[in-house]
Amino acid sequence: MYPVFLRISCMADTEFWRRIFENMARSIFPRFIYMKETESSLVISYYHEKNGFLYSINRHAHSDSDISILYKDIKNLLSSNIGIYCVSDMINMKTKIETWASVKKRCVKNYLILDYVTNNKEVTNNKEVTNNKEVTNVILSSFSPKKARKIANKVNIALVFKTIDTSEIIMANGHIKNLPKV
C-alpha cells in the first residue's frame, strides 16, 4: 500500500485520474509501470521498447503543495510517455475540433454526443384549457439520464447506418452545436 497515491488521488480533477491513483495506492499500476521501494524514496519506473523514465518520490511527509506537484508530474509522465488520457484530456488537447470528420476516436465521439444531449433541454408543450381558452405552455427541462442515453444510442445507430450525414453535425469550440433530428 502506498498512501502517497491516496493523497494524490484527492487532488485529481476527474474521476478517471482519481481511480488511476487509487489503484496505484493499492499496488495496481498501469501496464509497464513498476514501483521500487528504497529506504528514502519510492521510484516509479517505466520501460517499454525504447521509451522509459524513472521518477523518485521522497518518503518523508509531503505538504499539499508537494502533493499537487506530484500529481501534475506523474499525470504528465503517464500521459506523455504511456498515452494514458481521460476523454476530457483528449478533447482539451484537440480544442480545434471544427468538424465531425476531424474527430477520429469513437470514445471522443460518444463523449461529444452525450455532452450535447445532456446539455440540451427537452421542449414540452403543455396545452391547458382555462376559462374556455386554450393556452400552450412551453416547458424546458433536462433529459432524464435514461432518456439521454436512449437519444445518444439513436444518434450512434443513425451514424453507423449513415442515416445522418456527418456534414449535418454542426460543431463549434470543440462541442456539437446542432444535430439533425433522429
Task: State residue 19's pLDDT score.
Answer: 92
pLDDT in tens, 17-74: 999 999 999 989 888 888 888 888 888 888 777 778 888 888 776 788 888 888 999 8
- Placement of cell 509497464 in the chain: 32
pLDDT (mean) for 101-120 = 80
φ, ψ (nearest 5 deg) of residue 170: -95, 125
pLDDT (mean) for 5-28 = 89
The whole-angstrom separation of Cα 79 and Cα 33 is: 13
Residue 116 makes CB contacts below 8 A (sequence gap 6+) with 175, 176, 179
pLDDT (mean) for 139-144 = 61
pLDDT (mean) for 117-125 = 66
Up-side HSE of residue 135: CA atoms within 13 Å toward CB?
8
Task: State residue 23's pLDDT score.
Answer: 92
Q: How are strands ordered across the β-sheet holding 51-58?
A: 33-37, 41-48, 51-58
Task: State residue 138's pLDDT score.
Answer: 44
pLDDT (mean) for 66-95 = 80
Residue 13 has pLDDT above 80, yes or no: yes
Name the residue with higher pLDDT: 121 or 68: 68
pLDDT confidence tier of residue 94, bands split at 50, 70 and 90: low
The whole-angstrom separation of Cα 28 and Cα 17 is: 14
What is the phi-psi region of residue 31: left when phi exceeds 0, alpha when psi lies from -120 to 50, beta otherwise? Answer: beta
Following DSSP, what letter does each residue of 9-60 receive, concatenated?
HTT-SSHHHHHHHHHHHTT-PPTTEEEEE-SSEEEEEEEETTEEEEEEEE-S
> Which cell goes with 97?
475540433
Task: State residue 65's pLDDT score.
Answer: 81
